[in-house]
Amino acid sequence: MAAGHDQLWDAGPPGTGQRLDKWLYFARLAKSRTVAADLILGGKVRINRTRVGKPSQLLRIGEVVTIALHGRVLVLKVLAAGRRRGPAAEARSLYEVVSPPPGPAAAADPGSRAAGSPGRGEDK
């Protein structure tokens, strides 16, 4: 049943798809659908480089979702429709991460000094 559902969802007529807020919730990118809706309404989510204004925006397989989340930007390719909010492994099967992993500079504390810059008492 799942394969048939996903196949119809992918190749269905215009106007078919899954609500973006539900997909974000099923993919475990938002803790609740309300949080997902707030991210969308706050301008933090894009589909195919276009800002989304409604949580009810339909999302289809193959589209690219860009989301600003927890101080970083994630670029994800939609691989499947969500059917439930399952375990993390199931949620990760809904998308492919397209964005590069954060580099060492991005992982560093924002208040930390750059390597090699003098600190207190080291300016001589």
> Does 120 fall in a domain?
no
Mean of the per-residue pLDDT values of the chain: 82
pTM: 0.72
DSSP 8-state secondary structure symbol assigned to residue 75:
E
Pair 64, 27: CB distance under 8 Å:
no
> Does 109 fall in a domain?
no
Phi, psi of 19, rounded to the nearest 5 degrees: -55, 140
Domain harbouring 68, CATH code: 3.10.290.10
Q: What is the pLDDT of residue 100?
A: 79
> Does 34 fall in a domain?
yes
Mean pLDDT of 2-17: 53
pLDDT digits (tens, 9 = 90+) for 49-104: 999 999 999 999 999 999 999 899 999 999 999 999 999 999 999 999 998 777 66
- Band of the pLDDT at 16, cuts 50, 70, 90? confident
> Does 90 fall in a domain?
yes
Q: Which domain holds residue 39?
A: 11-101
> Does 122 fall in a domain?
no
Q: How far apart are CA 51 and CA 21, in angstroms?
A: 14
Instruction: Count the alpha carbons within 13 Å of 68 in the hemisphere toward its beta carbon.
Output: 13
> Does 108 fall in a domain?
no
> Does 107 fall in a domain?
no
Structural domain count of the chain: 1
